[in-house]
Amino acid sequence: MAPTATVAWKDRRLIILDQTVLPTEVAYIQLATVADVWEAIKVLRVRGAPAIGICAAYGVVVAALNAPAGDARACIVCVKDAITYLGTSRPTAVNLFYALDRMKAIVDTADEDLTKEDLIVALEAEANRIFREDIFMCRAIGEHGASLIQEDCGVLTHCNAGGLATSGYGTALAPMYIAHEQGRSFRVYADETRPLLQGARLTTWELSQAGIDVTLICDNMAAQAMRERRMDLVIVGADRIAANGDTANKIGTYGVAALARWHGIPFYVAAPASTLDMQTPDGDAILIEQRDPDEVTHWQGCRQAPEDITVYNPAFDVTPASLITGFITNKGIITPPYEINLAKALADTTV
Ligand code: MRU
């Protein structure tokens, strides 16, 4: 069963599933302005690297639709402002900038004689292409990674890199969906993923909807679960993969990778080509988003820690390439040496 739609473009309206209220409510909302899109990305109504990029691409179309009537010139100014503004929403996931750069290329190459409507059509077509390509990339990731999931095995995942984070089957969860379609039974362990509980709220929700056996654990239980050999492999998603293979993903991923190495468990990162960032040489150059301390001190508006306590709240961490067994990508499974093989895979247009 294909996962629930996360971002939809219907009759020139941008609709998203509001992930902040899942799993207790399934609420779809319209993002009618660029400010709505920025806010939705910032507060994680829409989240997950590919979904952020797709939503931002449609956000650019929203900007064009809301631009004053007239020739394309005024519209181009609004669109460029929107691209700059949306780029300030979240810094770590490269997919956001990948999508915005593609939208910018449309206006940069636009003919000055175009009408506003011509420009909207061109922007809409590009956003639709980004959306559809993501569906294909997710499916390909699933097909390449499914054979890693053997009958009766246990798989650990961290955060949510499923359908909710993309326009398709997800990245880390895609091999699980395909292995399930192929009739294999296996167990998934989902880390709850403090502080915003993407694992507890989202991964468990979408996997159980698909009929996949999923067990929720707190983040601090992974070591014990590995020691008991409950899992045979780990698959996580990625927000940005540097040229040397260092990978930014949800905070806590690095710890899981270190634990997996200690226990001799293979650790895979699943990601589409749009998450590879060859301009960033290594993990030290990845900007890590710092988030509001209230996410750590509060839960659903209730304070859980003393007033004025100092909080450190990075949203992501960087797993060194040396801890990664392989990258499950839409172009196949990539193994070390990553400096060479990631660039080679990206350059290969035959797959
Ligand atoms: O802060 P989030 O929920 O956007 O973080 C999401 C993750 O870290 C995912 O693992 C990553 O974006 C990959 S999604 C296919």
Same domain for 271 and 217: yes
Answer whether residue 1 is part of any domain.
no
Give me the domain span that covers residue 66. 7-139
Mean pLDDT score across all residues of the chain: 96
CA angle 65, 63, 41 (to 5 degrees): 130
CA distances from 259 to 91, 256, 282 (A): 27, 5, 22
Which residue numbers in the chain have pLDDT < 50? Answer: none
CATH of residue 234 = 3.40.50.10470
- Is 111 an annotated catalytic residue? no
Please tell me the distance between residue 249's alpha carbon and the centre of ligand 1 in angstroms. 6
Q: How many domains in the chain?
A: 2
Same domain for 85 and 221: no
Which atom from ligand 1 is nearest to the alpha carbon of 271? 15
Q: What is the DSSP string of 98-119?
A: HHHHHHHHHHHT--TT-BHHHH
Which amino acid is present at 205?
A: W
Please tell me the distance between residue 251's alpha carbon and the centre of ligand 1 in angstroms. 10
User: Of the residues 122, 139, 156, which one is the last residue of a structural domain?
Assistant: 139
CATH of residue 83 = 1.20.120.420
Answer whether residue 336 is part of any domain.
yes
Please tell me the distance between residue 49's alpha carbon and the centre of ligand 1 in angstroms. 5
Which amino acid is present at 299?
A: W
CA distance 236 to 119: 38
Q: What is the pLDDT of residues 9-24, one digit of tens each?
A: 999 999 999 999 999 9
pLDDT at 138: 97
Query: What is the helix (H) or strand (E) element at residue 14, kind and residue range?
Result: strand 13-17
Q: What is the pLDDT of residues 275-310, one digit of tens each?
A: 999 999 999 999 999 999 999 999 989 999 999 999
User: Of the residues 114, 139, 164, which one is the last residue of a structural domain?
Assistant: 139
| pTM recorded for the entire structure | 0.97
CA distances from 253 to 125, 194, 261, 324 (A): 35, 11, 12, 11
- Tokens 């089957």 sit on residue: 169
Answer whether residue 2 is part of any domain.
no
Residue of 16, 47, 141, 202 best suited for mutating to test ligand 1, as the one with most atoms within 8 Å of CB: 47
Q: What is the pLDDT of residues 185-197, one digit of tens each?
A: 999 999 999 999 9
Answer whether residue 149 is part of any domain.
yes
- Tokens found for residue 35: 């400010």
Residue of 159, 247, 287 best suited for mutating to test ligand 1, as the one with most atoms within 8 Å of CB: 159
CA distance 37 to 57: 10
